[in-house]
Structure 1
Amino acid sequence: MEVNKVCIVGAGVMGSQLAQLFASSGYEVSMTDIEDRFIQNGLNAIKSNLKKYFVDKGKMTQEQADKIVARIKGTTDLKRATERVQLVVESVPEEMELKKQTFKRLDELCAPETILASNTSALSITAVGSLTRRQDKVIGMHFFNPVAVMKLVEIIPGVKTSDETCQVIKDVAGKLGKETIIVNKDVPGFVVSRLFLVLCNEAVKLLEEGVASAEDIDKACQLGLGHAMGPFRSQDIVNGIPVGLHALDYMRAELGEFYRPCPLWRRKVEAGELGVKTGKGFYDYSQQR
């Protein structure tokens, strides 16, 4: 199956970046969310990103950027958004029931041949697609933030996902300029999140125990392990504090106590200290706002 038109469900941080990526690669894109303001925020973010990281740096002209934006159509009407699409990529909050109901509704609206992909970072793809009548066409397609820069896409087949669906998604990822890995078992956290969240959880424990500061733990990961960014700065920038907590809670429930989140992580979320967007996370950004 050839993919020409894609629907992105969710216009937030990841959803808007996915819309930008697909449109930049020549796909016709519909981006949908539950309120017009979310869609407008997403479109504004796309325009800002294209200008800041591409036009201003001489990587593309303003005319080229305008053509990318023109390929993206925003709507709150899910039925309209899914018309004539061959692929849907869901990027709604990391809540299992929300994703299951979203996939159920997509299954009702989309053409029988349409592939339904989830950008979840940790949740079971089999469970996410369990209420659909097309489990052979349900798959995980996990991108990483920032989407335009990070080269990897995790492809996660569910128990009933067909080989044909996997191949289509692998081909699409290639056209997007991405490298792929296949996750052979639909396990919580897949590969990257399962590795990274354990590191992040240990980093939070070290901070809570007073072993080292957030700055020095990040520095240790960058200079000692070769990471581009430390776990605390990474969580702050990509809105990973609540997402990481939810993922660890899910992994703990499915895989055992080894994945129990450090209490400091939960206190951060309860205090509304979610990272850059709230002015404070593991670092204080209040002076930058």
Structure 2
Amino acid sequence: MKNVLVIGAGTMGGGIAQLCAQQGLNTVITDIDLSFSEKARARIETGLAKRVAKGKISEEDKAGVLSRISTAGDLSPAKTADIIIESAIENLDIKKKIFAEIDALAPRDTIFTTNTTSLSISEMADATGRPEKVAQMHFFNPPTIMKLVEIMPGNKTSAETLAAAKAFARQLGKDPVVCKNEAPAGIVSRILGQLLNEATWLVASGVAEAADVDKAMKLGANHPMGPLQLVDLIGIDIHRAKMETLRKKLDDPRYQHPPLIDEMIEKGHLGRKSGRGFYDYQA
């Protein structure tokens, strides 16, 4: 793989694009408006500048990564992509529309992947004329650091596509796992979802403050990051979308989120990206 298109300029899309560029791949970030893609590239540049200042990378490394990241405000870069990674909003209708549009643009051998956590891979694949070339590649936040990529087939994904996705993950320096069959949320997100959801209930029901919940899990379970710190990093709106999907798909009340989550989203407290979530990042 040499040419990558990342659809979605949010936290995950930007991180995936940076990862690809760091591994020497020509990468395009696109979104519904060019300004969104340009902001994602600017965030990457800011992050790289901090690494230069700390002596972790050279100015030349930074320039090299940025030279391999271009931006767009439409799906036309699909015409030259070897692989497309969709990381748009967690809305199945929007994702299906994206897949139908890139299917009309991309070469027949281009592989389509989705970074979705819990939406149907098969339904996205069926929006194309090449369902055998569609798979899930679920990256973890931040994509430049986390070693795992979960790969999952839809019901028509070919063995060749799964092998190509696995090889691409390794090309990016990741250590992938491949699920045998499609299931909501795969492995990590399904297990982790209940843990994160339970942590939000502990705060919502007044059992403990967020900082104490996180301290308990870091010191008592040896977690490198507290669950509520992780919810803030993921995005509280993204967390809610995952819980709602799992609650519906699995018919399991353990994924029901507390009203506190709705209240926080209504106030615009979405976590790190908004400056405030369970913690205040504006200070």
TM range (shorter): over 0.9
Superposition deviation, residue 34 in structure 1? 1.4
Aligned-pair distance for 1:270?
Answer: 2.2
Does the residue aligned with 2:104 lie in a helix, a strand or coil? helix
Q: Aligned residue for 1:35?
A: 33
Shift of 1:96: 1.0
User: How far apart, in 2, do the equivalents of 1:183 and 1:266 lie?
Assistant: 32
Find the counterpart in structure 1 of residue 226 from structure 2.
Answer: 230
Aligned to 2:70: 73
Q: Does residue 59 of structure 1 match 2:66?
A: no
- CA deviation after TM superposition for structure 1 residue 284, in Å: 2.6
1:271 maps to a residue whose letter is K
Letter in 1 for 2:27: V
User: How far is 1:94 from its partner?
Assistant: 0.8
The answer to whether the 8 A contact 1:221-1:227 is kept is yes
2:263 counterpart letter in structure 1: R
When the two chains are superposed, the root-mean-square deviation of aligned CA atoms in Å is: 1.3
Query: What is the CA-CA distance between 1:204 and the residue it aligns to?
Result: 1.2
SS at structure 2 position matched to 1:141: strand
Alpha-carbon separation, structure 2, partners of 1:269 and 1:189: 22
Is 1:107 the counterpart of 2:112 in the alignment? no
User: How many residues end up aligned between the 2 structures?
Assistant: 282
How many Å separate the matches in 2 of 1:244 and 1:12? 14
Return the TM-score normalized by structure 2: 0.96
- Give 1:238 deviation, angstroms: 2.9
Write out the 4+ residue segments of structure 1 that deviate beyond 3 Å after TM superposition: none
Distance 2:10 2:28 in 1: 14
Report if aligned partners of 1:236, 1:275 keep a CA contact under 8 Å in 2: yes
CA distance in 2, matches of 1:280, 1:47: 23
The residue that corresponds to 2:166 in the other structure is 170
TM-aligned CA deviation for residue 95 of structure 1? 0.9
1:246 maps onto 2:241 in alignment? yes
Distance 2:106 2:53 in 1: 39
Mapped partners of 2:24, 2:274: distance in 1: 34
Equivalent residue, structure 2, for 1:149:
145
Q: What is the deviation of 1:276?
A: 2.3
Q: Cα distance, 1:175 vs. partner?
A: 1.3
- 1:120 Cα offset (Å): 0.9
Deviation for aligned residue 1:257: 3.3
Structure 1 alignment gaps of length 5 or more: none
1:16 corresponding residue in structure 2: 14
1:179-198 CA-partner distances (Å, limit 9, x unpaired): 11112221111111111110
Q: Could you tell me how far apart the structure 1 residues matched to 2:90 and 2:140 are? A: 14
**Match of 2:104, as an amino acid?**
E
Work out the CA distance in 2 between the residues paired with 1:277 and 1:118: 22
Compute the displacement of 1:84 (Å): 2.0
1:79-158 correspondence to structure 2 within 5 Å: 79=76, 81-158=77-154
Moved more, 256-265 or 177-186: 256-265
C-alpha separation between the residues in 1 aligned to 2:164 and 2:100? 22
Contact 1:30-1:82 within 8 A present in 2 as well: no
- Percent of aligned positions with the same letter in both sequences? 39
> Is 1:215 aligned with 2:217?
no
- C-alpha separation between the residues in 1 aligned to 2:15 and 2:106? 23
Shift of 1:171: 0.7
When the two structures are superposed, what TM-score results if normalisation uses the length of structure 1? 0.94
SS in 2 for 1:234: helix
The 3-state SS of whatever aligns with 1:139 is strand
Q: Letter of the aligned partner of 1:244 in structure 2?
A: H
2:16 and 2:24 mapped to 1: Cα distance? 13
Letter in 1 for 2:270: L
1:283 aligns with 2:279: yes
Equivalent position SS for 1:31: strand
Asked whether the equivalents of residues 153 and 180 of structure 2 are also in contact (C-alpha less than 8 Å), the reply is yes
